[in-house]
Structure formats: structure tokens, C-alpha cells
Chains A and B, each alone.
Chain A
Amino acid sequence: MTIAELQTQAPAVTASDLYDALLRNTAPFILDVRNPDDFARWRIEGRAGLMVQNIPYYDFIEDEEGATARVPADREVLVVCAKEGSSQYVAELLRARGIDARYLEGGILSWGHFYDTRDIVSASWGRIVQVARPARGDVSFIVISDGAAAVIDPLRHLAPYLEAIAARGARLTHIFDTHVHADHISGGPELNRETGAPYYVHPYDAIHPIDMLPATIAYTPLNDGQTYRVGQVDLRMIWYPGHTLGQVNILAIAPDGSRYLFTGDGIFLRSFGRPDLGGRGEEWTPLLYESMTRRLPPHLNDATLILPSHFSTLDEADKAGRVAAPWGVVRQTNTSLSHLKSAEAFRSFVLGNLPEFPPQYVEIKRVNIGLRTPSEAEAEELELGKNVCALAQ
């Protein structure tokens, strides 16, 4: 074998290319060559109908012909491994046998770290930028108006926010978490340390709900009904207890009268946030019912754009990658909202549809209020896979 033959001939596909294809529903067949345990823990997910198969790379080493026979030969195949090496190796084997195989650059690690940034509202008063981490189903936002920028529910890696704000010629003035998150490590406290912009969170969430210990991070308490001005936009805090005791929905009101509701883990496009991640599902379910039926509705009209902080499936994103829909659509298409007719019906629906409680969520809440500082490797491990913040659909 010459040196030239050792080099990879298979084309690389970047995480960004993959995301575009997933959104357009044109993604190739995905061949994940990690070991079955890693595959079971998390994998690439897309719209319904995405084909994903797990054949460990060592199956190709043991029995190249047998393993190759399990791969479809009539279409493009994207080979994925942990970091990259094994997917290149398998893609080369497949190409030698006539299969149009490519590999995911940087492996599934790069997919897990991929952030998608796009303007989803552009108007004369400013814009709303959506920053998503698709592998986790996490979504966050930047409201920009007259050179001021407010970040809502920032995720752990700060660069996407700092770059997006700088590229749009703005300055970070406010950092909000709609609540203290359980599924991911917030970028809020570190953005506050890096930029000096105040980090706002409701004081009820600054106590760990299971440890009952107070936050050690620097934060500025926000209250129900309070309004913050960002350029020409008003951001109104609507207390919405249930998913956490201190969750708020943030209503943005633009000078043209348009309204945008950042629901955090309140109402999602196809479900709503579960009330048990604080360890008190039975007690918090009635609070959630009150929030959904009494606290929030006065602030909504059918044109209010609902912008949640999670999706459970990529089918919640439209072709342009927006995870957003007007309330008039959400109230009709989100079938989980049909259980709000009575407190009792709601209670039995909620308590009967709680997904598993990921044990690391207790620890992530500790990290988010400063009770623990994980290493980078521990943070990676805590955030592995997709969020489980919604009720089962």
C-alpha cells in the first residue's frame, strides 16, 4: 500500500451540512459504527423517517463482507463514529465495494457540539436570533434592538452568542434564564462573568429544590410583572411556576405591536414542560395547571409567536429551522393542551405521562446555581444526549 492509498478518499460531511439535510429531510442513510452501548445512549436524530443503523466498526474488521451486505448499496451512506477515525475507515471499505459512503467530520462529538444560529424575526425595530444546539433539542434566543442585545436561556458554550451579537453590531445588556435548567448547563453565569451584563433569574429558582441549598452564583432577581427595556422592545416577566417554582415566560412586545413569548420549558410546540424535575411532581402539578389556565392566557393572543427552549423531535422545526409557531396554531396542534379542561383531568394526564427522570438532572441543577463546578469531561458527560424536559407525547 502506498502512502497515497492510506489517505482518506471518502468525502467529509460537516455537522452543519448534516443539519441542513436533516431540516430539509434529505439526509442520507446514517450508518453509526460506534459500539452498541454508546449508540443506545444517544444518536443522531432527525425528522420522522430518518434511517439510522448501528453496525459497530469491528464487525467490518471481523467480517467485512457480511457487515457490508447489511448496508444499503443503492443510496448515499453517511458513516458516523465517536470522533472520526473509524468512520473514515469504514467509509473507505464501503467505497471500495461501490457504495457512495461519506463520513461525518469530527464524529458524533462534533454533532453534539454543533450550534445553529439564524435570524428568525427581522423587523424595523430589530431582530430575534435563534441559537439552537440540535443534538440536544436545546433552543435559545437573542433579542436585538438599537444595538442592545438580551440573551434568553443561553447554552453552555458562549462563542455562538458572543459571535452572533458582535456580527450584528450589538452589545450584550441582559442575560435571562427563564428558569434554572435541569437538562443542560446554562451559559448565563459565565456570560455574566465574561461580559459584566447582569444575569437575571427568579429567586425561587436560586435554591436547589432537592438539596434546599442557596445559589452561590452572582444573579439579579427578577419578579413577576417586571419589564426590561432592550432597545425598542419591552421584555415582560410572567411568573409561570410548575416546571420549576421560579420559571417565567418572557413576553417581548415590539413597537409595531407584535408579541413574542419565550416560554422556556413552559409550553412547547407539541408538549409542555414536566412538573417533576424538582422532585415534587405531585405538589407542583396544580401550580402548573394554574400557570397554564390562569396566569398565562391573559398575555396571549393568536398572533403571539411561541418560542420554546426545547424540541423533542426535529419535526417541531420548520424547513427554515425555526422552532416557533403562533399561539393560534399551537393551541390547535399541541394536543397535550386538550387536557386542561379540569384540574383533575390534567393531574391524571400529567402524572401518567412522566418520562424517566434522568438522574444527572439533579446534579445539573447544582452546577447551574454554583453548588458544583464540573470539569470539561464531566460537563460533557452530564449533557450527553437529548433533553427529556417535556411530558411524553
Chain B
Amino acid sequence: MELTYHQTLDVKGAKCPMPLVKSRKAITELPVGQVLRVIATDRGSVADFQGWVKAAKNVELVAQEVVQEGGQELYIHYLRRTA
């Protein structure tokens, strides 16, 4: 699957709650309809982003994927600003 995104936020190494705090801020600065790609190393971010988008009024979780890079797992979230 080829995923389209407009901006990337690198939160590698950041621990909970910072991946989500920074994503919230970045999404707010994004034009409505655009997609933010978030690259995290915190495994807990997978379930937390799923929960967050249910609570958030203007964020849609388009996709999540896990990729291996240099011996560590990267958790990648694609978030669209919807309003």
C-alpha cells in the first residue's frame, strides 16, 4: 500500500506522552484534510493513538505500520486532520 502524507514528525526516542503531545500540536498546525506521518519508537503509541483518535474531534487514524530499521522497530502512524 502506498500511503500519501504531507508532513512527517519524527518522535523517535520520545517516551509517552510526548509522541502524542507533539502529534496533537503538529496536527493542529496542519491544513484540514492533510495527513501527518508520525515515526515513533514507543510501542505503547500503537494502542494509545487508536484510543486517542476516538477521543479527538478532528483526527482520523488513516493507517499504522511497523517497520524494522537498524535493529529497532519503528511504529508509524498516519493521521489526517478532518476539521
A-side residues, CB < 8 A to B, are 35-38, 56-59, 61-62, 81-83, 85-86, 89
Give bound CA distance, A61 to B25, whole Å.
10
Query: Are B55 and A62 in contact, CB atoms less than 8 angstroms apart?
Result: yes
With contacts A82-B16, A83-B15, A83-B16 taken as known, whether A58 is within 8 angstroms of B48 at the C-beta atoms is yes
Give bound CA distance, A81 to B21, whole Å.
15
With contacts A35-B48, A82-B44 taken as known, whether A89 is within 8 angstroms of B17 at the C-beta atoms is yes
Cross-chain contact of A36 among B51, B56, B57 (Cβ < 8 A): B51
Give bound CA distance, A62 to B55, whole Å.
7
The interface centre, meaning the residue of A57, A58, A82 with most chain B CB atoms within 10 A of its CB, is A58
Query: Are A56 and B55 in contact, CB atoms less than 8 angstroms apart?
Result: yes
Cross-chain contact of B17 among A36, A37, A61 (Cβ < 8 A): A61
Cross-chain contact of B55 among A38, A59, A86 (Cβ < 8 A): A59
Query: What is the interface of chain B mostly: helix, strand, loop, or mixed?
Result: helix
With contacts A35-B47, A37-B47, A82-B44 taken as known, whether A58 is within 8 angstroms of B18 at the C-beta atoms is no
Kindly list 13 other residue pairs between chains A and B, CB separation below 8 angstroms, not including A58-B55, A61-B24.
Answer: A35-B51, A37-B47, A56-B51, A56-B52, A56-B55, A58-B17, A58-B20, A61-B17, A61-B21, A62-B55, A62-B56, A82-B44, A86-B16
Residue of A nearest to B47 (CB): A35
Query: Are B16 and A85 in contact, CB atoms less than 8 angstroms apart?
Result: yes
Query: Are A38 and B47 in contact, CB atoms less than 8 angstroms apart?
Result: yes
With contacts A37-B51, A56-B51, A58-B48 taken as known, whether A81 is within 8 angstroms of B56 at the C-beta atoms is no
Cross-chain contact of A58 among B15, B56, B57 (Cβ < 8 A): B56
B-side residues, CB < 8 A to A, are 15-18, 20-21, 24, 44, 47-48, 50-52, 55-57
The interface centre, meaning the residue of A36, A37, A61, A83 with most chain B CB atoms within 10 A of its CB, is A61
Give bound CA distance, A85 to B18, whole Å.
8
Contacts of B21 on A, CB cut-off 8 Å?
Answer: 61, 89
Query: What is the interface of chain A mostly: helix, strand, loop, or mixed?
Result: helix
Contacts of A59 on B, CB cut-off 8 Å?
Answer: 55
Contacts of A56 on B, CB cut-off 8 Å?
Answer: 48, 51-52, 55
Contacts of A57 on B, CB cut-off 8 Å?
Answer: 16-17, 20, 48
Contacts of B15 on A, CB cut-off 8 Å?
Answer: 83, 85
Contacts of B16 on A, CB cut-off 8 Å?
Answer: 57, 81-83, 85-86
With contacts A35-B51, A58-B51 taken as known, whether A85 is within 8 angstroms of B17 at the C-beta atoms is yes
Residue of A nearest to B50 (CB): A35
Give bound CA distance, A35 to B51, whole Å.
6
In the complex, how many angstroms separate the beta carbon of A93 from the nearest chain B beta carbon? 11
Give bound CA distance, A275 to B16, whole Å.
42
18 contacts across the A-B interface (CB closer than 8 A) = A35-B47, A36-B51, A37-B47, A56-B51, A56-B52, A57-B16, A58-B17, A58-B56, A61-B20, A61-B24, A61-B52, A62-B52, A62-B55, A62-B56, A62-B57, A83-B15, A83-B44, A89-B17
